[in-house]
Structure 1
Amino acid sequence: MKIDDKNWNAIKNVFAQAQKANMHANIASVSKEGIPNITPIGTVFLNDNGTGILFDSFSQQLAENLKQNHNVCISAVNSSKVFWLSSFIKGQFNSYPGVRLYATLGDLRPATKEEKLKVETRIQSLKWTRGSKLIWSDFNHVREFHINDFRWVKYPNMMDTLD
């Protein structure tokens, strides 16, 4: 599907709602043996031009898989109970429940000050917790990605107004 301004704005909205509900997105990659792997990452950020970044500190298998194939699928699904319940009651989704982004993931590089500020803002409400200090204290490296294509998560009988 073509990523025009209308699609990009919808993608960003669905992605934001999914990350708000789930606190992460899933990134699928494939090993040299052809074995798929899904990596949950809570620090994926979309830019304004069909690109994005993700902070990569702990994803050993993803890093290993990228050695031979930089193509990934980034999946974000809104799992909010309110979203799903209201959609089922109405028999209609007001927005897509999720999106799959087919992207090329770049090499690991140091994060810029602006990128570090994005992650600091996202984790601010949990920064005081012990887990936050253990997990998010070393977010200094990012991977850029370029989105090549996308597909909406669809349930055709409840999508009449979106297609």
Structure 2
Amino acid sequence: MNIRSLSPLTLSVIPRVSQQLSARSRLLAARPALPDLHRKYHGAPIGQHQTTEFLKRLVDAKESKELSFGEIAKRIGRSEVWTAALFYGQAKPEQIDLNKLGEVLDIAEQDFKKGFPKSFFPIRGAGLQIPPTDPLMYRLYEFLIVYGFPL
């Protein structure tokens, strides 16, 4: 599509749409995040979530035992990606997962019930800083912004 072939009405809309998008991006970037987690999650801080305090405890337990997501995943019988998603509050664990994770991290079952109540459901993407500050994550974000609609 050639820009010369666009109508004057279309051309007048483009700046307004880009202003709306940039305003929305500023609003999303200004969402509150937990500053003490941003280093642990490589530029993707966790925002306010019903399990935020428990997620901090999981991360602290993981770090105190010097375990990677891959090592934890092997011990609980899940994939590394799913395990990482659980630590980010982006996956819903089954009871058996919580039991195994409690054994690995030495966290009591009753604490898991408080941290992940039966009513818990992950809010996909909630609490992540937009746009991301990690260079790789930003490139993936940029790819989705640029090529998402055309795909």
Look at both structures and tell me which one has the larger radius of gyration over its CA atoms: 2
Give the structure with the larger strand fraction: 1
Q: TM-score, normalised by structure 1?
A: 0.23
More helix by share: 2
Give me the TM-score of the superposition, normalised by structure 2. 0.24
